[in-house]
């Protein structure tokens, strides 16, 4: 008699047939290719592991009793629980539709007891962090097929959607048979008119003519190549996904060759547009390649601009959907949209291309933080009073409890928590570590709340057997995605504070915290781990007091020329019209063609930095081909509006940012090119840029130092100072302030600056870029305190924060701006942009693409208003009026019985009391 597992396996094919019937018994389409592995592993991708397919005829394998007519995949050599089998389904799904998932899965006999198998979606966006969505799970035991079921629906369309199966522990083989994903409404998968973001539409609003080639190739042309119309290709294997036809761009000899359409006159400036295309590639022996949608824009002065608006990785096996968004700032004389990207010899196939006015993104609602337990440690048995209860070893390491660790709360946590009970002095000792990721772990899934910011704190130490510095990392596995909770480099046998922060914005199914990092064989000690939600607004009262203390000064207005009748009854109204603390923004050349952008910029910022237009790869893309026109025009705008400018940057030390022609130079020619760059840039703009970032990101790159020797960095500073002595010369780097990168910790940055100064480099300022996630004030302040010991001005040079929720983004921005204004070492803040579609990070803008202020923008303007000083009262017997205010420009109105007089005065930055004489 068959056991139950054999019966399940025997009925497997029938069950899978049931899965793909749609509503009312209609046939629903399985969107997965080669779902039954009848074509081996084609269309599937192994995620850093190995795999093979067992045919039905092979008989029982690894303890599994198989039915006679089904194949299954064996995923083996898995070193991480997230490793498994995946398939790209980006172009197969529509926003708002619900999809049903089912699969029969099993595990090898290597696992004791049961283990979870998980179905996951990886949601990738080019300009923001990848997120993961658990869509189904089941528990398996060896020798048994289990049915995994789940469903999902996406509210917005990421750049890529990857479906994969994962879950069992490292070393356990994952077995997969007959995977099915169907849409609960089959028509949603067919071509239809819809306004849902992510679906193809050919409604009247599209500015593309003949988007689906129903009128042949009319309105289309080749860009340096030939185009052709098809109803099929490849002996009938390639058919249109939508409609009856598709076009090909063929005989391509350059990567920029493709199919194009002129849209001049149909695209309006200052409107946001969304582009959607369905594409694939074709050719002999081709590999997956990016297909890009690009705008070629020609201005009335014949200046050309190329704007990348969308891209997708395409293959020759199936159609994929590409999406993007763009906005034109200026009034072009000609606009052409075209597809490009694959290498010469590869044909680009396009089934449809639509461009329409983008729908406005609905505003966020404030996150629900009611009942949040701020300051409460979510780690169980943190003080180890119950041994290692609630903890478990990740991997085959050993946990025990030792004594002798610090009893004081680490400083960054103490600043957040305030008065707090001392630590126990006990620590977890981790021994027998054979992998860097091995260490103590704890599950915290149910203890986290979405959109809260959590601070991480612990003392860590490594064993005496280590050779060289060791990185220690508090990490989180959020549905098997690594999240950085803080890192520190340990180079001795002392206890070190580790601190960081994180936030989760999508509901996870499983969250584990673990401590990892040192090399295998090195013992790890962890004491007093705390993870607690931070009420970041609770610190704002303290920061307001600090800001008033640091940024304001006592001001005495001393009036002369008052009425002879006396001073009593003379009313004074003081109103600050501009705070001169530097708060600036990054701008680009195209931005200044948009008068709405310019209007917001000049009203709300007093400094500027150019995003790309001063970088060497922009000013000299090919050797001897100089382009300073963009920078000249941007500088002219700033000078006309009394906006100071930072020069970013003379050099960039990171290899990937260096032009190919520079990389091809020998040492002698490279040294000459460096000198020419310095001479050309600093002579042309002498006295016009207040700051220069001399050699960007030296803690993260070494292109010039590797080729020209260690002295080149100091020599760059020396030469720049000689050519323009008026400019303050900065170092500039990232992840200095957030505790998440040992390469650029405050201690490393301080040593880097001292080394440069030791070589005679006239370093005059410290740049902290400030591309930060989930900022926590005491962590940022701790870094500023350390850097402040150098006695040099510190600027946040590229500040941006990112959250899908505008209110949380506003909180992030407020944290950073308040910390900056409240710290005496900070001399200025530069935002890395503020306008949607012109930011380097997604979900970081303050102003939406068409000029609407979002919640983060409103918070910024509210802070700007808070940092203006106003006062009113009466002149005293000495003819004076006293108040305390920020530095900047003021209007004063004096009202007597006989007259009303208005004057303007300026308060310079300073600590002592200032007397301002005003003659009435």
Over residues 600-637, the pLDDT tens digits come to: 999 999 999 999 999 999 999 999 999 999 999 999 99
Tell me the two tokens of residue 354.
């639509």
Measure the CA–CA gap between 526 and 445, rounded to whole angstroms.
Answer: 21
Give the pLDDT confidence score for residue 202 in this predicted structure: 37
pLDDT in tens, 574-587: 999 999 999 999 99
What are the catalytic residues?
A: 697, 798
| Of the listed ranges 99-103, 145-149, 188-192, 279-283, the one predicted with least confidence | 188-192
Measure the CA–CA gap between 242 and 214, rounded to whole angstroms.
Answer: 11
Does residue 411 carry a pLDDT above 90?
yes
| Of the listed ranges 137-146, 613-622, 851-860, the one predicted with least confidence | 137-146
Does residue 145 carry a pLDDT above 60?
yes
Give the pLDDT confidence score for residue 853 in this predicted structure: 96
Q: Are 472 and 439 in contact, with CB atoms under 8 Å apart?
A: no
With a CB cutoff of 8 Å and minimum separation 6, the contacts of 795 are 582, 691, 730, 765, 766, 767, 768, 826, 827, 828, 829, 830
Tell me the two tokens of residue 746.
């405050």
Percentage of the residues of the chain whose pLDDT score is greater than 70: 92
Does residue 738 carry a pLDDT above 60?
yes
**Is the CA virtual torsion 295, 278, 154, 34 positive or negative?**
negative
State the average pLDDT over residues 442-463: 97
Does residue 805 carry a pLDDT above 60?
yes
Give the pLDDT confidence score for residue 18 in this predicted structure: 34
Give the pLDDT confidence score for residue 94 in this predicted structure: 84
Residue owning tokens 């409103």: 858
State the average pLDDT over residues 429-434: 97
Measure the CA–CA gap between 704 and 662, rounded to whole angstroms.
Answer: 10
How far, in whole angstroms, is CA 646 from its chain's centroid?
24
Measure the CA–CA gap between 773 and 809, rounded to whole angstroms.
Answer: 10
Does residue 651 carry a pLDDT above 60?
yes
Measure the CA–CA gap between 672 and 650, rounded to whole angstroms.
Answer: 15
pLDDT in tens, 835-852: 999 999 999 999 999 999
Does residue 68 carry a pLDDT above 70?
no
Tell me the two tokens of residue 443.
């599950």
Q: How many residues does the chain have?
A: 920
pLDDT class of 897 with cuts at 50, 70, 90: confident
Give the pLDDT confidence score for residue 130 in this predicted structure: 80
Measure the CA–CA gap between 534 and 536, rounded to whole angstroms.
Answer: 5
pLDDT in tens, 210-260: 999 999 999 999 999 999 999 999 999 999 999 999 999 999 999 999 999
Give the pLDDT confidence score for residue 111 in this predicted structure: 56
Measure the CA–CA gap between 704 and 712, rounded to whole angstroms.
Answer: 7
Does residue 890 carry a pLDDT above 90?
yes
Tell me the whole-structure pTM to 2 decimals: 0.78
With a CB cutoff of 8 Å and minimum separation 6, the contacts of 346 are 252, 281, 282, 283, 286, 289
Element spanning 401, H or E: strand 398-403
Instruction: Return the higher-pLDDT residue of 176 and 157.
Output: 176
Distance set, CA 710 to CA 278, 717, 755 (Å):
50, 13, 11
Give the pLDDT confidence score for residue 565 in this predicted structure: 61
Instruction: Return the higher-pLDDT residue of 122 and 645.
Output: 645
Element spanning 869, H or E: none
- Average per-residue pLDDT in the chain? 91
| Cα torsion through 852, 856, 862, 868, rounded to 10 | -110
Measure the CA–CA gap between 618 and 454, rounded to whole angstroms.
Answer: 40
Distance set, CA 28 to CA 20, 180, 184, 243 (Å):
5, 10, 8, 19
Does residue 899 carry a pLDDT above 80?
yes
Give the pLDDT confidence score for residue 128 in this predicted structure: 73
Measure the CA–CA gap between 574 and 9, rounded to whole angstroms.
Answer: 84
């Amino acid at each position: 008699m068959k056991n139950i597992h054999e019966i399940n396996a025997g009925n497997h094919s029938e069950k899978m047939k049931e899965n793909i019937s749609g509503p009312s018994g209609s046939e629903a389409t399985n969107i997965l290719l080669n779902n039954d592995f009848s074509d081996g592993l084609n269309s599937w991708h192994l995620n850093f592991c190995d795999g093979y397919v067992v045919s039905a005829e092979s008989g029982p394998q690894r303890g599994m009793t198989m039915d006679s007519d089904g194949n299954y995949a064996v995923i083996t050599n898995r070193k991480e629980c997230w490793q498994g089998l995946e398939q790209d389904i980006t172009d197969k799904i529509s926003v708002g539709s619900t999809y049903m998932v089912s699969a029969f899965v099993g595990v090898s006999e290597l696992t004791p007891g049961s283990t979870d198998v998980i179905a996951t979606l990886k949601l990738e966006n080019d300009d923001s962090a990848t997120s993961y969505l658990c869509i189904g799970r089941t528990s398996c035991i060896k020798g048994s097929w289990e049915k995994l079921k789940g469903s999902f629906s996406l509210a917005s369309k990421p750049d890529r959607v990857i479906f994969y199966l994962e879950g069992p522990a490292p070393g356990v083989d994952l077995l997969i048979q007959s995977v099915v994903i169907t849409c609960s409404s089959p028509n949603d998968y067919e071509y239809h008119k819809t306004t849902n973001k992510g679906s193809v539409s050919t409604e009247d609003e599209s500015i593309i003519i003949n988007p689906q080639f129903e009128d042949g190739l009319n309105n289309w042309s080749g860009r340096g190549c030939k185009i052709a119309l098809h109803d099929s290709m490849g002996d009938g294997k390639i058919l249109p996904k939508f409609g009856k036809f598709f076009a090909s761009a063929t005989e391509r000899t350059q990567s920029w060759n493709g199919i194009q359409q002129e849209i001049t006159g149909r695209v309006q400036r200052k409107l946001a547009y969304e582009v959607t295309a369905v594409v694939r590639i074709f050719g002999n022996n081709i590999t997956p390649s990016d297909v890009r949608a690009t705008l070629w824009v020609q201005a009335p002065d014949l200046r050309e601009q190329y704007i990348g608006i969308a891209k997708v990785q395409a293959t020759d096996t199936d159609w994929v959907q590409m999406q993007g968004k763009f906005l034109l700032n200026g009034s072009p004389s000609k606009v052409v949209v075209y597809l490009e990207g694959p290498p010469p010899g590869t044909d680009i196939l396009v089934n449809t291309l639509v461009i329409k006015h983008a729908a406005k993104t609905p505003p966020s609602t404030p996150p629900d933080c009611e009942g949040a337990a701020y300051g409460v440690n979510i780690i169980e048995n943190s003080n180890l009073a119950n041994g290692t209860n609630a903890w478990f070893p990740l991997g085959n390491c050993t946990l025990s409890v030792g004594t002798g660790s610090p009893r004081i709360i680490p400083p960054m946590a103490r600043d957040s928590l305030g008065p707090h009970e001392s630590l126990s002095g006990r620590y977890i000792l981790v021994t027998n570590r054979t992998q860097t990721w091995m260490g103590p772990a704890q599950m915290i899934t149910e203890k986290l709340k979405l959109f809260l910011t959590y601070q991480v704190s612990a003392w860590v130490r490594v064993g005496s057997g280590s050779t060289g510095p060791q990185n220690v990392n508090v990490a989180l596995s959020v549905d098997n995605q690594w999240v950085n909770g803080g890192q520190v480099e340990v180079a001795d046998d002392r206890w070190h504070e580790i601190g960081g922060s994180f936030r989760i914005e999508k509901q996870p199914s499983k969250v584990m915290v673990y401590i990892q990092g040192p090399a295998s064989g090195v013992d790890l000690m962890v004491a007093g781990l705390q993870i607690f939600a931070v009420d970041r607004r609770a610190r704002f009262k303290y920061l307001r007091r600090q800001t008033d203390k640091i940024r304001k000064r006592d001001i005495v207005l001393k009036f002369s020329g008052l009425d002879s009748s006396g001073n009593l009854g003379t009313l004074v109204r003081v109103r600050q019209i501009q705070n001169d603390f530097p708060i600036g923004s990054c701008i680009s050349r195209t931005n200044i063609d948009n008068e709405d952008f310019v209007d917001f910029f000049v009203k709300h910022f007093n400094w500027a930095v150019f995003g790309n237009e001063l970088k060497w790869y922009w000013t000299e893309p090919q050797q001897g081909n100089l382009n300073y026109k963009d920078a000249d025009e941007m500088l002219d705008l700033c000078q006309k509006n009394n906006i100071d400018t930072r020069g970013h940057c003379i050099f960039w030390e990171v290899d990937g940012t260096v032009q190919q022609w520079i990389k091809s130079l020998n040492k002698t020619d490279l040294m000459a090119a460096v000198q020419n760059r310095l001479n050309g840039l600093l002579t042309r703009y002498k006295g016009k840029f207040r700051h220069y970032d001399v050699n960007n990101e030296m803690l993260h790159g070494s292109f010039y130092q590797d080729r020209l020797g260690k002295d080149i960095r100091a020599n760059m500073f020396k030469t720049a100072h000689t050519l323009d002595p008026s400019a303050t010369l900065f170092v500039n780097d990232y992840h200095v302030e957030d505790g998440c990168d040992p390469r650029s910790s405050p201690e490393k940055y301080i040593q880097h600056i001292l080394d440069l100064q030791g070589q005679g480099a006239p370093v005059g300022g410290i740049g902290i870029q400030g591309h930060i996630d989930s900022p926590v004030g005491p962590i940022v302040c701790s870094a500023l305190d350390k850097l402040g010991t150098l006695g040099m001005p510190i600027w946040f040079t590229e500040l941006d924060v990112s959250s899908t929720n505008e209110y949380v983004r506003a909180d992030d921005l407020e944290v950073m701006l308040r910390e900056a204004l409240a710290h005496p070492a900070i001399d200025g803040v530069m935002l890395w942009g503020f306008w949607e579609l012109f930011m380097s990070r997604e979900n970081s803008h303050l102003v939406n693409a068409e000029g609407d202020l979002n919640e983060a923008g409103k918070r910024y303007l509210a802070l700007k208003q808070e940092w203006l000083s106003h006062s009113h009262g009466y002149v005293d017997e000495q003819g004076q009026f006293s108040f305390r205010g920020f530095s900047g420009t003021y209007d004063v109105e004096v009202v007597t019985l006989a007259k009303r007089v208005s004057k303007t005065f300026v308060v310079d930055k300073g600590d002592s009391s200032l007397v301002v004489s005003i003659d009435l």
